[in-house]
Amino acid sequence: MVKSLPARSEVRLEDTWDLTSLFSSEEEFHQALSELEKQTDAFQQQHSGKMEDASSIVGALTAYAALYEKLVPLSTYASLVLSTDQTDDAAQMLSSKFGSVAAKISSKLSFVNSELLNLPEETLQQAMKESDEFKVYLEKLIRKKQYQLHPEVEKTLAAYSSTFSAPYGLYNTTKMVDMKFDDFEAGGKSYPLSYVSFEGDWEAEPDVEIRRAAFTAFSNKLKDYQHTTAKTYDMQLQAEKTTSDLRGYDTIFDYLLFNQEVDRSLYNRQIDLIMKELAPHMRKYAKLLQEVHGLGKMTFADLKISLDPSYEPEITVEESKKYIDDALAIMGPDYLEMVDRSYSERWIDFAQNTGKSTGAFCSSPYGDHPYILISWTGRMNEVFVLAHELGHAGHFYNANREQNVFNARPSLYFIEAPSTMNEMLVANHLLESSKDPQFKRWVISSIVARTYYHNFVTHLLEAAYQRKVYERIDAGQSVNAGILNTLKRNVLEEFWGDAVEITPGAELTWMRQPHYYMGLYPYTYSAGLTISTQVSKRILKEGQPAVDDWIEVLKAGGTKTPVELSQMAGVDITTEQPLRDTIAYIGELIDELVKLTDEIKVK
Ligand SMILES: [Zn+2]
């Protein structure tokens, strides 16, 4: 039964994460922040105007990396304290304070890249020869040269960086602080509603009347805020367009894809092929849900129900560890030690409380261990969510140890590969553990309804919608709530055809994702899962050698492009084949679900 959520102050300490390895108190945080401001001034004095040859470049970059390593825990702390309770005034103030100081610091540090790019390229080449350490950093910088602006402009833009990220902060404030949900009624009874409980519980509620009533109440509240949210989003889009134009990119897509180190063909392929080829499989899945649940019609509000709600094992946090350990054992003892520590040292925030960020994420500050945010509902599928976040953790646990602070982070295109890989490992492990058709059906439906639905459908439909939004913006237009609703509805209707009725309220789904404030992020989920699906099949077939390759990929961090990283793991993403294979695999899983459902019926 869904209860109204407690305040953050009421949750059990053991369900919260321990941030003391970042800073033991707010006071320590503020002290470190003002210390860093002073060190930044000293660094500027010592190095500005003095990088002229290989050794002075290497010296400056070494000191720059050290400053950067001090900035990382500060920024992590500022965002993590806010993420568990966005209504907390002190956390809001701390985060704003950090934002304004960080903008000042990055403005003062902007001379590094500007001055390096003013030097002749041979000098930079010599610096790369002198120290391998900064080779990747300098190579990436040289690639950026044609888009670099005058040093004073760069300095000014950096000084405005917290203003540029303001739309994202506003979005979260509207969503998590201002938006308050009233209880909703169904069958003469009243039920509590919140963002977290809608996405964590009500959306999957087996009772059709309660589920649809929750959806209506949820959508009505979103609607009250649609214009503010659309305006906030438009502000983000216009700032991106201006930046793209000022820096001289051909299109806003080229600007947003630049740091991902992939071209538009990889981006477009992901959206076009899935829209077309996955849709028939997913419509079949929607029909199966409809049949099993005996629904007269299948609506958008019904898509998140599980195939067999009577078979959704409940699981505690403590019990989840055994499943995770067994499933991830294949990754080796070092990886498992990380998993152990994540539980025993409280790296994970499990609590459900008001004001907490929705969904789940993993933050992996350089020089410290990863932190995971999740709102534990007690449903078995949380094991998949946690395995996913531990996949991000395992990635940076490896990359942060092997690479310097500039080289640890890979392209966004690759970010979701290690996370979805762990979901595949959990599924493979569970499938091996029992022959019972009902259990097997539950596992496969979890992969389809969670892993593939989330990464290949939810985020794909976001990506298809987002591409339409950016096409408008690139043509010099703007957006409002009406336009965004139409674009979103069109994408949903195109994908689901007549298999699913796109109920009123579904068009507001664009208001639910913070991803739109992170550039071309949504499409990378299916890109990552395409890679991990192929690698997990390799692991099933080849065992250890495939695992070893994968660990090397994790360690490589951001020193290679997505194409190179995939190649290291034996997957060639320059062709359509891996994506085609993955879509076909999803089709097979859905056919298997249909078959198992028939078997279970006969019994
Ligand atoms: Zn993820």
Look at residues 517, 536, 562 and tell me which one is the last residue of a structural domain.
Answer: 517
Using one digit for the tens of pLDDT, what is the confidence trace for 363-382?
999 999 999 999 998 888 89
Dist. CA 88 → ligand 1 center (Å): 26
In a domain, 102, yes or no: yes
603: confidence class by pLDDT, cuts 50, 70, 90: low
Distance 40 CA to ligand 1 centre (A): 33
Average confidence (pLDDT) over 60-73: 97
Determine the length of the chain.
603
On the question of pLDDT at 471 being above 80, the answer is yes
Task: Give dist(CA 486, CA 412) in Å, integer.
Answer: 28
User: What is the CA(514)–ligand 1 centre distance, in A?
Assistant: 13
Model confidence at 5: pLDDT above 90: no
374 in Cβ contact with 389 (< 8 Å): yes
Confidence of residue 455 (pLDDT cuts 50, 70, 90): confident
Beta strands per DSSP E along 364-411:
371-373
Write down the pLDDT at residue 485. Answer: 98
Mean pLDDT along residues 5-16: 94
Calculate how far, in angstroms, residue 361's C-alpha sits from the geometric centre of ligand 1: 6
Average pLDDT over residues 550-568: 97
Residue 7 lies in a domain: no
pLDDT tens digit sequence for 486-524: 999 999 999 999 999 999 999 999 999 888 999 999 999
> What Å distances lie between residue 591 and 87, 536, 563, 594, CA to CA?
46, 20, 31, 5
Those residues whose beta carbon sits under 5 angstroms from the ion ligand 1 are 419
Residue 129 lies in a domain: yes
**What's the pTM?**
0.90
Q: Give the end of a domain, one of 517, 534, 559.
A: 517
Cα radius of gyration rounded to whole Å, the chain: 24
Q: Is residue 522 part of a domain?
A: no
* 3-state class (DSSP) for residue 584: helix
Same domain for 193 and 137: no
> Which segment of 33-47, 301-315, 410-424, 533-547 scores lowest on mean pLDDT?
301-315
Q: Residue 362: beta bridge partners?
A: 372
* Average pLDDT estimate for 280-293: 96
Average model confidence (pLDDT) for the chain? Answer: 94
pLDDT, tens digit, 9 for 90 and up, residues 548-558 = 999 999 999 99
From the CA of 277, how far away is ligand 1's center (Å)? 24
41: helix, coil or strand? helix
What's 289-301 look like in SS3? Answer: HHHHCCCCCCEHH
136 and 21 in a single domain? The answer is: yes
Rounded distance, CA 175 to CA 194, Å? 11
- What CA–CA distances, in Å, run from 106 to 439, 442, 497? 53, 50, 48
Q: What pLDDT is attached to residue 54?
A: 96
Distance 457 CA to ligand 1 centre (A): 15
Residue range 411-451, pLDDT digits in tens: 999 999 999 999 999 999 988 988 888 889 988 998 898 88
Do 34 and 76 share a domain, yes or no? Answer: yes
Residues 124 and 175 in one domain: no
Rounded to the nearest whole angstrom, what is the distance from the C-alpha of residue 420 to the centroid of ligand 1?
7
Q: Say how far apart CA 29 and CA 31 lie, in whole Å.
A: 5
Please, are residues 36 and 69 in contact by the beta-carbon 8 Å criterion?
no
69 in the same domain as 37 = yes
Tell me, in angstroms, the distance from the centre of ligand 1 to residue 446's CA.
Answer: 17
Q: Does 66 reside within a domain? A: yes
Ligand 1 midpoint to CA 522 (Å): 10
509 and 478 belong to one structural domain: yes
Convert the pLDDT of each residue in 211-234 to its tens digit: 999 999 999 999 999 999 999 999
| 303-320 tens-digit pLDDT | 999 898 888 778 999 999
Task: Give the domain CATH number at 76.
Answer: 1.20.140.70
The domain tally of the chain equals 2
What's the average model confidence in pLDDT over 572-583?
95
Distance, in Å, from the CA atom of 585 to the CA atom of 533, rounded to the nearest integer, reads 9
Q: What Å distances lie between residue 399 and 212, 345, 405, 573, CA to CA? A: 44, 20, 10, 22
Q: What separation in Å is there between the alpha carbon of 417 and the centre of ligand 1?
A: 8
Q: What pLDDT is stored for residue 601 in this prediction? A: 81
Tokens representing 537 are 């099949």
Q: How far apart are CA 137 and CA 222, in angstroms?
A: 43
The pLDDT score that the predictor gives to residue 3 is 67
Residue 140 lies in a domain: yes
Say which amino acid occupies 378: G
Is the same domain home to 179 and 134?
A: no
Domain termination site, one of 489, 517, 545: 517
Rounded Cα distance between 215 and 284, Å, is: 23
Would you give the end-to-end CA distance of the chain in angstroms?
Answer: 30
Question: Residue 413 C-alpha to ligand 1 middle, in angstroms?
Answer: 12
The DSSP element (H or E) to which 362 belongs, if any, is strand 361-363
CA of 416 to the centre of ligand 1 (A): 5
The domain in which residue 24 lies consists of 13-146
Residues 17 and 141 in one domain: yes
Per-residue pLDDT band at 2 (split at 50, 70, 90): low
Using CB atoms within 10 A of its CB, is residue 340 exposed (0-12), middle (13-18) or buried (19+)? middle
What digits encode the pLDDT tens for the residues 231-271?
Answer: 999 999 999 999 999 999 999 999 999 999 999 999 999 99
Q: Is 51 helix (H, G, I), strand (E, B) or coil?
A: coil
- Residue (of 561, 568, 578, 566) closest to 258 by Cα position: 561
C-alpha of residue 379 to centroid of ligand 1, in Å: 19
3-state secondary structure of 185: strand
Closest CA to 289 of 219, 186, 204: 204
DSSP assignment letter at 354? T
- Beta partners for residue 501, in sequence order: 299
The Cα 548–Cα 569 span in angstroms is 9
Same domain, 239 and 278: yes
Give me the residues paired with residue 185 across strands.
190
Mean pLDDT of 59-83: 97
Q: Is residue 248 part of a domain?
A: yes
Query: Is residue 38 a part of any domain in this protein?
Result: yes
Residues 99 and 194 in one domain: no
Residues 187, 284 within the same domain: yes
> Are 188 and 112 found together in one domain?
no
